[in-house]
A and B are shown apart, each in its own frame.
Chain A
């Protein structure tokens, strides 16, 4: 349990990268990119976790409660929403590529010129 979450992080990263590299469809590639991005969220939250700690919200618990790190949660929070918008931009590019070249296969796209 000492390093198991971090091993899962590098597993998700590796699996996602494998999908990106061996993909034959642009939309499939973009979805594998989403998986790669999600591994960083798990890493961020895993770094800030404190055993026996509560969520860092003190509305109804005393102020002296042990809580997990709020800074990495703030990072992961904005991360999730912003990367969804960037994924939408990537999908718009995929639509444009399909319109111009007629194919969503990255191998065929690489060999077309002009």
Chain B
């Protein structure tokens, strides 16, 4: 029984862990690591020059962006980050009337409570106190649940590698941040459309910009609360739905959305054995009672059968005796009658 018992305990341990980390801790709320960094992307300032793409590729040892930044034909299609290009700039609204075209840079949003970190079953992702979400390729099994679940389509996988495929994405230039530098895209943007700083300060700055030019901005800082909030904040004059972002989504983070179910797991593990053993016991008891009843009925039937037989025997015996007596009486009568007849005949001679 060794496997089952160990497995049992492991299951309970895992389930409890799951419940604990999945937020079943009641009423507390964690605001996030204070002083963590973020990036503010002002869509009104982005002109689609793609210097950020070039800088990102250079810093991450990827080949230069293809087609090169000067080629505007790249904007005819929507692109997404790939394993060789961790960020892309897309055109969302063409130039119209007197309005300039609208571009936006897309990359990993470094969420406050990342979906990728919560769905990874080897805990390959970590949300650092500085803000970036980091990936550890040394434990990754390659299940690609993270790639499948990310709501921003930010993750890519190295399908072309047979032995060491990794999940790749923007890292918010964590090594550079640790050295006190800015992420490469923020450094490279000529328009200052990407501003790097402490997240709480950037939110205040974003609000200030919106307040100064109310007709140029929509009064909403995207990323402040969406799915629990992201490190990457976006402001602009076009509605966010038109920029390829999900509008009106819940402020609950994605780990929270799934935690309700995971907290049921230890419950099932603890309740099922007793419940099912009980059901088994009940069914066994029913069987036993049915068997006992059956046996009792058989006994009774046998007994009754025995008595019936006895009665039949005694009445048959009686009848036989009667018959015999009758027969004897008849025979005696017959004999007497014959005797009389014989003596009558002899007398008359």
State yes or no: do A and B come from one complex: no
